[in-house]
Amino acid sequence: MSALLQTIGVNKSFGGLAAVTALSMDVQPGEIVGLIGPNGAGKTTSFNLITGVYTPTSGSIQFEGQEIAGMKPHAITRLGVARTFQNIRLFKEMSVLENILVAQHMRMGTNLFEATLRLPSYMNKERHVHERARALLAEVGLSEHEQAPATSLPYGKQRRLEIARALATEPKLLFLDEPAAGMNPQESVELMDFILKIRDQFKLTIVLIEHHMQVVMGVCKRMYVLDYGVTIAHGTPEEIQKNPMVIEAYLGAG
């Protein structure tokens, strides 16, 4: 099976400081792959490189066989790549429903002429977008909150909303940056079930950064471990747990 995502020798330096060195990883369709490592290991920088926030200093990033290194974030999103962020970035002045509607705009397929004159074609698309947004909220258990301000939700539900907003762009590949951050043990267990559910329901491939070992070991079949921007290990959760370099660099930290 061809890899959905492949990075080959990706490097990123900031003012001579190497943030990511020779990142080479592959992600197969339908997988949930973990990217772990201590703080400052280069995990979020790797996400930023793949999603177009940063341009690699060198190396190749391919999505469905197409080179995407250096492409703009919106262009990469349109290809089918979505993400969440380490710090929740909801549209604070918008309702729960409006956060989903905004994310769907790129898939609406309308133009300025249709929108300005509010032609029947535009109104039909607008109605479809609202229906789909409400259906998506129902699927993630947020229907009862659709008119509430996004930031009025409890923390765990804000995380779900951010993931739902990413799902609204109709991705094939979803990046989750520390989705369990700030969650209590019960919320973390619920998150694991939620990640598995959306993978199956939306036919997704997922890559996640996570410090919560119960989550990453519970949902990932494979994982990559970074330390100071260098990949020091790759394998199954069982292999990673036994790897001496990983134990020293990350699992044994603190």
CATH number at residue 36: 3.40.50.300
Residues 74 and 176 in one domain: yes
pLDDT at 115 over 80: no
Tell whether 86 is covered by a domain. no
Which range marks the domain in which residue 115 is found? 91-164
Residues 6 or more apart whose CB falls under 8 angstroms from that of 204 comprise: 30, 171, 172, 173, 174, 198
Residue 185 in contact with residue 39, Cβ under 8 Å? no
Reduce the DSSP state of residue 117 to 3 states and report it.
Answer: helix
Instruction: Give mean pLDDT, residues 160-168.
Output: 94
pLDDT at position 208 is 95
Residues 65 and 3 in one domain: yes
Residues 73 and 189 in one domain: yes
Single residue among 142, 164, 186 that ends a domain in this structure: 164
Single residue among 164, 190, 207 that ends a domain in this structure: 164
Residues 100 and 70 in one domain: no
Single residue among 129, 164, 199 that ends a domain in this structure: 164
Q: Which residue has the higher pLDDT, 187 or 148?
A: 148
pLDDT at position 249 is 79
Residue 102 in contact with residue 94, Cβ under 8 Å? yes
Tell whether 148 is covered by a domain. yes
Q: Which residue has the higher pLDDT, 2 or 234?
A: 234
Q: State what percent of residues in the chain have pLDDT above 70.
A: 91
Residues 51 and 176 in one domain: yes
Computed over every residue of the chain, the mean pLDDT equals 90
Tell whether 121 is covered by a domain. yes
Confidence band for 144, pLDDT divided at 50, 70 and 90: very high
pLDDT at position 196 is 95
Confidence band for 124, pLDDT divided at 50, 70 and 90: confident
Q: Please choose, from the candidates 83, 97, 90, 249, the residue with its C-alpha nearest in 3D space to the C-alpha of residue 179.
A: 83
Tell whether 85 is covered by a domain. no
Residues 176 and 113 in one domain: no
Tens-digit pLDDT profile for residues 197-211 = 999 999 999 999 988
Alpha-carbon span 14 to 1, nearest angstrom = 35
pLDDT at position 253 is 47
pLDDT at 127 over 60: yes
Tens-digit pLDDT profile for residues 11-64 = 999 988 999 999 999 999 999 999 998 888 999 999 999 999 999 999 999 999
Residues 58 and 132 in one domain: no
Instruction: Give mean pLDDT, residues 93-122.
Output: 76
Instruction: Give the number of domains in the chain.
Output: 2
pLDDT at 113 over 60: no
pLDDT at 164 over 70: yes
Q: Which residue has the higher pLDDT, 26 or 89?
A: 26
